[in-house]
Amino acid sequence: MTTPTYDLVIRGGTVGTATGRFAADIGVTAERIVAIGEKLAAGAREIDATGKLVLPGGVDTHAHIEQVSAGGLLNADSFESATASAAFGGTTTVMCFAAQHRGLDLRQVVTDYEARARRGAMIDYAFHLIIANPDAKTLEQDLPALIGEGHSSIKVFMTYDLIKVDDEPLLDLLLTARQNRALVCVHAENHGMISWMGKKLLAKGYSAPKYHAPSHPRGSEAEAFTRLIAAAELLDQPIMIFHVSTREGAEVIRKARGRGLKVFAETCPQYLFLTRHDIDKPGLEGAKWMCSPPPREHDDQEALWQALALGDIQTISSDHAPYAFDETGKLSAGPDSTFKQIANGLPGLETRLPLLFDAMVSKGRGEFAGRGLEAFVDLTATTPAAIYNLKGKGAIQIGNDADIAIWDPAKTVAITDAAMHDRTGFTPFAGRSVQGWPVHVLVRGRDVVAGGEVAGVAGSGRWIGRDGGWAAEPTGRLCADMDPERNFGAALLSEQVPAAPIIPANR
Mean pLDDT of all residues in 30-57? 98
Q: 282 CB contacts (<8 Å, ≥6 apart)?
A: none
Pairing of the two strands 404-414 and 433-443: antiparallel
- Classify 276 as helix, strand or coil: helix
Nearest by Cα to 82 from 99, 100, 70, 97: 97
Could you tell me what percent of the chain has a pLDDT over 90? 95
pLDDT in tens, 389-410: 999 999 999 999 999 999 999 9
Cβ atoms 443, 459 nearer than 8 A: no
> Please, is 132 exposed, middle or buried when counting C-beta atoms within 10 Å of its C-beta (0-12, 13-18, 19+)?
buried
- pTM value is 0.96
* 27-37 pLDDT per residue, tens: 999 999 999 99
Q: Band of the pLDDT at 502, cuts 50, 70, 90?
A: very low
Question: What average pLDDT does range 171-182 have in this prediction?
Answer: 98
Considering the four listed CATH numbers 2.60.40.1080, 1.10.10.10, 2.30.40.10, 3.50.4.10, the one that applies to the domain covering 6-56+395-410+426-454 is 2.30.40.10
Q: What is the mean pLDDT of residues 405-422?
A: 98
pLDDT tens, position by position, 94-140: 999 999 999 999 999 999 999 999 999 999 999 999 999 999 999 99
Mean local confidence (pLDDT), 366-391: 97
Peptide bond into 293 cis (omega under 30): yes
- The whole-angstrom distance between residue 194's C-alpha and the CA centroid of its chain comes to 24
Q: With contact defined as beta carbons under 8 Å apart, do 369 and 340 qualify?
A: no
Superfamily assignment of 58-387 in CATH? Metal-dependent hydrolases (3.20.20.140)
pLDDT confidence of residue 495: 56
Confidence at residue 71, expressed as pLDDT on a 0 to 100 scale: 83
Question: Does 222 have pLDDT greater than 90?
Answer: yes
- Distance CA(77)–CA(65), nearest Å, equals 6
pLDDT band per the 50, 70, 90 thresholds, residue 503: low
What is the distance between the alpha carbons of residues 223 and 219, in angstroms, rounded to a whole number? Answer: 6
Per-domain residue ranges of the chain: 6-56+395-410+426-454, 58-387
pLDDT of 498 strictly over 90: no
Confidence at 500, pLDDT banded by 50, 70, 90? very low
Identify the three-state secondary structure at position 297.
coil
79-88 and 106-120 are packed helices; what angle lies between their axes, rounded to 10 degrees?
60
pLDDT of residue 242 exceeding 50, the answer is yes
Mean pLDDT of 314-326: 98
pLDDT at residue 56 in the model: 98
Cβ-Cβ contacts under 8 Å for 85 (sequence gap 6 or more):
77, 347, 349, 350, 420, 421, 422
Mean pLDDT, residues 200-213: 98
* For range 69-73, the mean pLDDT: 86
Tell me the pLDDT band of 72, cut-offs 50, 70 and 90.
Answer: confident
The pLDDT value recorded for residue 497 is 47
Smallest CA-to-CA distance from 315 within 397, 404, 253 is with: 253
What is the mean pLDDT of the segment spanning 431-454? 98
